[in-house]
Amino acid sequence: MTGIGWGVRSLGRHPLRTALSLAGIAVAAAMLLDMVMLSGGLEKSFGDLLLARGYQIRLTPRGTLPFDTEATLDGASRVVAALRRDPAIEAAGAVLGTALYGRSADSLVGLFGYGVDPTAQGLYQVTSGADLTPGDTAGVLLAGPVARLLGVGPGDSVTLIGRLDPQVAMAAVGRRFVVRGVVHWLYDHRGQLSVGAVLPVMQRLARADAADRASLVVIKARDDGAVGSLAARLRREFPELEVSSVADLVAHFKLRLVYFRQLSYILGSMSLIVAVLLIATLLTITVHERLGEIVTLRAIGVSRGTVIRQVLAEGAALTGAGGAIGIGLGLLTARYLDAILTGFPGLPAAFSFFVPRAGTLGTAAAVLFLTGSLAGLYPAWLAARSPIAETLRAEAT
């Protein structure tokens, strides 16, 4: 009989105990998988989000990150013009973020406004209707939640209000726009009420002194491999601005969410230890129960190596079955936990904490299978080292 066959038959002798053990291993495997996805998924998800439109570099006011504060950079058109003359840059566009209001019946609704250059934007994807054109001063783009709240769609009209007079709470700057399209703003949090217009229009709506100001400038390099050197050169050319590549922004992000990485390492290690202890304990109990059978086999000529392989095969079978169940359970729990964590205020709705990847699944499965199989070393050693004569005498009495 083969080692695997004996292991599987041995597990079937106590179905309830085996089922409970498999459940415990599956839970530990699911936690291990989730923690592996969490530890590597944070920066991958954030990096993929930043590169969703291919813009690898951001320019912001000195000492800030994109949309981190309300600070703006002056002379945005001059900066963009200089960047577009650079042969290493494929596209560059300025973006302004500001607070707005939309009129809904007799009330005002707070909105977030994006001023964009439609020819060089990395902030949105059109889901219905049409995009803006560079000279479209009468058009506006709405996020899905805004369109539903105001009850409008492409072709309808909306009123946007920029500044309110604090003395009389009336609009100081307000205009009526035609909805060109409904878009998905990549960096909006879930349910955020955002609208977009061409940059000059949003600058006039923002405030009287906002002419030629922007919150950031997005840059797309022609060569992905030259992003680092391009960012370094731009830092020298624009010392008054903060130049951040996607790699820089991911590093800042990792520092802010280092707690989640530490938590994933701790919980992942604990789940692995629990799985090893559970398998080792079960195999130790099983070996003690079958000690008479094992030494009988030894007495008729079965080698110690064969006994060790049989016990290790039992551990491998237990680990493989529990791990397979755990992968499915881990994917389900990861989806549930991700929905909770991405609900935190200020996090983009498109961001994900748990990113399932083939490499992630393979790493978690390999680590679990290896450690789970090695957990049978001590029980296998006990089985192989048991004295034949003494054990048979004890079993007989």
Task: Say how many CA atoms lie within 13 Å of 386 toward its Cβ.
Answer: 31
Contact by Cβ (8 Å): 192, 143 = yes
pLDDT of residue 183: 92
Same domain assignment for residues 346 and 382:
yes
Which residue range forms the structural domain that includes residue 284? 3-49+256-396
Contact by Cβ (8 Å): 161, 103 = yes
List, for residues 31-59, the tens digit of each pLDDT value: 888 888 877 776 777 777 777 677 888 88
Contact by Cβ (8 Å): 165, 209 = no
For 104, other C-beta atoms within 10 Å of its C-beta total 15
Same domain assignment for residues 228 and 272:
no
State in Å, rounded, how far the first CA of the chain is from the last one: 29
Same domain assignment for residues 276 and 130:
no
Same domain assignment for residues 41 and 69:
no
Contact by Cβ (8 Å): 299, 319 = no
Same domain assignment for residues 261 and 205:
no
Same domain assignment for residues 295 and 333:
yes
pLDDT of residue 383: 72
Helix or strand holding residue 100 (H, E): strand 89-104
Same domain assignment for residues 80 and 226:
yes
Number of domains in the chain: 2
For 243, other C-beta atoms within 10 Å of its C-beta total 22
Q: Is residue 20 part of a domain?
A: yes
For 298, other C-beta atoms within 10 Å of its C-beta total 20
pLDDT of residue 7: 53
Same domain assignment for residues 24 and 78:
no
Cβ neighbors of 32 (< 8 A, separation 6 or more) are 268, 271, 272, 275, 326, 330, 364, 367, 368
In 3-state terms, what secondary structure has residue 56? coil
CA distances from 177 to 94, 105, 112, 138, 171 (A): 21, 16, 16, 5, 15
Same domain assignment for residues 100 and 219:
yes
Contact by Cβ (8 Å): 248, 56 = no
Task: Express as a percent the part of the chain with pLDDT over 70.
Answer: 84
pLDDT of residue 68: 66
Q: Is residue 247 part of a domain?
A: no
pLDDT digit of tens for each residue in the chain (397 aa)? 444 455 556 666 777 877 888 888 888 888 888 888 877 776 777 777 777 677 888 888 887 766 666 778 888 889 999 999 999 999 998 999 888 888 876 778 889 999 998 888 778 889 999 999 988 989 999 999 999 988 888 999 998 887 655 544 444 567 889 999 999 988 888 788 999 999 998 888 886 555 788 888 998 989 888 888 999 999 999 988 888 888 887 777 777 777 777 877 888 888 888 888 888 888 888 777 777 677 776 677 767 777 777 777 777 888 888 888 888 898 898 888 888 877 776 667 667 778 777 777 777 778 888 887 777 777 777 777 776 666 566 655 5
Helix or strand holding residue 311 (H, E): helix 304-341
Q: Which of 209, 239, 269 is the last residue of a domain?
A: 239
Contact by Cβ (8 Å): 210, 72 = yes
Same domain assignment for residues 156 and 218:
yes
Same domain assignment for residues 293 and 230:
no
Q: For residue 277, report the phi and psi dihedrals to the nearest 5 degrees.
A: -65, -40
Q: Is residue 248 part of a domain?
A: no
Q: Is residue 353 part of a domain?
A: yes
Q: Which of 213, 239, 265 is the last residue of a domain?
A: 239
In 3-state terms, what secondary structure has residue 329? helix
CA distances from 306 to 42, 155, 226, 334 (A): 45, 78, 58, 40
Based on its alpha-carbon atoms, the radius of gyration of the chain, rounded to whole angstroms, reads: 31
pTM: 0.69
Q: Is residue 25 part of a domain?
A: yes
What DSSP designation does 189 have? Answer: B
Q: For residue 161, report the phi and psi dihedrals to the nearest 5 degrees.
A: -120, 130
Q: Which of 239, 273, 308 is the last residue of a domain?
A: 239
C-alpha span between 25 and 105 (Å, rounded): 58
Q: Is residue 342 part of a domain?
A: yes
C-alpha span between 316 and 267 (Å, rounded): 23
Q: Is residue 58 part of a domain?
A: no
Same domain assignment for residues 301 and 366:
yes
Q: Is residue 56 part of a domain?
A: no
What DSSP designation does 348 have? Answer: B
